[in-house]
Amino acid sequence: MDADLIKSMLSVVAATIPLIITIIALLTNRIERPGVTIDNPSLKIFSIIRSPLEKEVLEEIRIYYRKKFNHIFIILILIYFSVGFFTAFISSSIFIKFSILVVDFLLFTTLFIIITSSKFYSFGKKSFFRTEICKFFFFEKVIIILEADFHYLFNKSHETLRSMKFEILNVDEGNGSLDAFRIFIRSPLITRHSTRRVQLIQLRIDNVGNSGNDYKIILEFLNPIGIPERSSITNQFINRLISKSKNIDKKG
């Protein structure tokens, strides 16, 4: 009986590991919704202009996420039924078999709830791309027009990139430009390609109009990166830029 119990425990642990990995992967790919930012008197935002995408491009993005959702869901189903199938051979105790099946069902239900709240599910639905909020998540490029002291704005942009785990390559405050990169690691459950991706960007701050304190910020990606990834990075940058920064704001 003890031997059967140990075998059962080990089987449950072995079956739980891939489920836990999948849960972590899905949690890191939840929808990034527009966050609530802190009003910052050092920056006055005039406009954030996102260039819309063609319908054909949006449909390609939807199909991409739908396929990813289908892949993850198939893996989830296979794990669920595999645990149920092997339960019949690991123990002669009906109680132990029932306990394993209950745990298996609870894990499946939990993971199913998580997967249906992930971006793979939401971004794979046609109804999502008929809404205005779609323009927030997917766009060609963005221009941020704001009013600020140039030195403060440049330092805040530098700090924002650093807070996003970017390494700064080149700094040219005179021309208002920053080059930065980071190595982004993707979960093997999310992509079949290389799990490492280099994100290389250039940030430019240009003067706008006759006023000395009106500027526009443009983010350019210097290496091939997909639209969903570019849009996500840009939204992260905007949300952090217009939120109050402890370090820079205290210096200012």
pLDDT, tens only, 17-60: 555 555 555 555 555 554 444 445 678 888 899 998 998 999 99
Question: What is the model's pTM?
Answer: 0.70
User: How does residue 117 score in pLDDT terms, banded at 50, 70 and 90?
Assistant: confident
| Whether residue 121 is found in the same domain as residue 170 | no
Let me know whether 115 and 222 are in one domain: no
Are both 70 and 168 inside the same structural domain?
Answer: no
Structure tokens at 232: 């996500």
- What pLDDT shows up at residue 226? 87
CB burial of residue 154 (10 Å; 0-12, 13-18, 19+): buried
Query: Of 48-57, 118-127, 173-182, where does mean pLDDT reach its minimum?
Result: 118-127
Residue 71 lies in a domain: yes
**Would the pLDDT of 187 be above 90?**
no
Listed residues 76, 95, 130: the one ending a domain: 130
The answer on 125 and 93 residing in a single domain is: yes
Instruction: Give, for 199, the enclosing helix (H) or strand (E).
Output: strand 196-207
Domain count, the chain: 2
Q: Do 6 and 119 belong to one domain?
A: yes
pLDDT at 113: 82
- Mark whether 141 and 68 lie in a shared domain: no
Task: Judge if 15 and 90 occupy the same domain.
Answer: yes
CATH of the domain at 151: 3.30.530.50
Domain end among 130, 155, 183: 130
Is residue 43 assigned to a domain? Answer: no
Instruction: State the pLDDT at residue 12.
Output: 54
Same domain, 94 and 183: no
What number is the average pLDDT over the span 83-89?
71
pLDDT by residue (tens digit) across 198-220?
889 999 999 887 767 899 999 99
- Long-range pairs for 95-98: beta carbons < 8 A, 24 or more residues apart: 96/4, 96/5, 96/8
Q: Of 27, 23, 29, nearest to 191 (Cα)?
A: 29
What is the extent of the structural domain holding 216? 137-251
Taking CA atoms, 29 is separated from 23, 40, 58, 121, 198, in Å, by 10, 29, 19, 11, 18
